[in-house]
A and B are shown apart, each in its own frame.
Chain A
Amino acid sequence: MPRAALLDPQGQAVEHALHALGFAEVGHVRMGKHLVLEVTAPSRDEALARARAMCDRLLANPVIEDYDLAVDGEVPGGTAR
């Protein structure tokens, strides 16, 4: 996601379009990217730690973006997906 303090022109354009369609209740629309990763790891925590490393190294640029991680589904036997 673009950092909250920074102008997000894409989010603004989407917000204007929603207002034009009559969705007056919506505000502060922000637009980012959604990446889906399949990570093989011995545990949920280790999968998260690796994904966090990937974000810090490549997937997000902390100067302009914030990111959040969520574990989507977990395969029985301890492998996070």
Chain B
Amino acid sequence: MKRVAVIVFPGSNCDAETLAAARAAGSDAFFVWHRDTDLRQADVVILPGGFSYGDYLRSGAIARFSPAMRAVAEHARAGGAVLGICNGFQILCEAGLLPGGLMRNARQRFLSRPVWVRVEQTDTPFTCLYEPGEVLEIPVAHGDGRYVAEPGVAAELEATGRVVWRYVRDNPNGSTNHIAGVMSAGRNVVGIMPHPERRAAPALEGGGQDGARVFLSMEARHATQDVADVRAVDDRHLRV
């Protein structure tokens, strides 16, 4: 059982579903208020969806300076798993923990509907239980979901296999290369615009459970990683 911190910002509104999805996957999940700087030994950190600080200035621009984000950055630098969903993805981009940025949807409208994404990479803490190329139906709910990156950055993401999910059938928001989610160079920080937590339980939205394995992957991945990550130093065992 992994410890999963769900950071709650003023304006987060997917925090409860995200916590429920993590618990349903077997994790010991708990909330961390954005003013706290202690992640309480979390193995995984999730930044949930919502509209932190009312999206003032830019989506995620103010939340990224919340005290908890310093601890999240340290956790990420140490190789810890971090997932940003929707507004969480925007915050990770603003914080520089993921490349690129998220701008107003190409067709201006706020989008709240199911989309289809293809799983492009399965070597992440959040996709290891998917098959490469699997197509998932997951809803989006965003106004600023158009992923953009410098041409050089986008080319590097493609060349290094760091596009994790890609929109298929249509490109709902005009994202560069149909990108719906990316990961960091260290492959431990992951962002996604659609909401897997809204497709993680049979009772939710009467829909499928295509998002559930995002949370189940956290448990599966760490089960094997722990063994590799524990090293004996002198007569003590350290997690590194």
A interface with B by C-beta (< 8 Å): 2, 6-7, 9-10, 13, 33, 58-59, 61, 63-65
B108 touches A64 (CB 8 A): no
Residue in B58, B61, B100, B106 whose CB lies within 8 Å of A7: B106
Give, as a whole number of angstroms, the nearest-CB distance from A77 to chain B.
32
The chain A residue sitting closest to B173, CB to CB, is A9
Any chain A CB within 8 A of the CB of B107? yes
B103 touches A64 (CB 8 A): yes
Give, as a whole number of angstroms, the nearest-CB distance from B174 to chain A.
6
| Contact A61 B108, CB 8 Å, known A6-B148, A7-B174 | no
> Interface residues of B toward A: which range?
20 to 34
The chain A residue sitting closest to B96, CB to CB, is A63
Q: Mark B38-68, 1 if CB is under 8 A from A, else 0.
A: 0000000000000000000110011001000
Leading 9 A-B pairs by shortest Cβ distance: A64-B101, A63-B101, A9-B108, A9-B106, A64-B103, A9-B104, A6-B148, A61-B101, A61-B58
A10 touches B104 (CB 8 A): yes
A9 contact set on B, CB distance < 8 A: 104-108, 174
B106 touches A58 (CB 8 A): no
Any chain A CB within 8 A of the CB of B115? no
A63 touches B106 (CB 8 A): no
A63 contact set on B, CB distance < 8 A: 93, 99-101, 148-150
A59 touches B103 (CB 8 A): no
Of B99, B146, B148, chain A has the most CB atoms within 10 Å of the CB of: B148
B103 touches A6 (CB 8 A): yes
List 7 A-B residue pairs with CB atoms under 8 Å apart, sorted by A's residue number.
A7-B146, A58-B61, A63-B99, A63-B100, A63-B149, A64-B101, A64-B103
A64 contact set on B, CB distance < 8 A: 58, 101, 103, 148
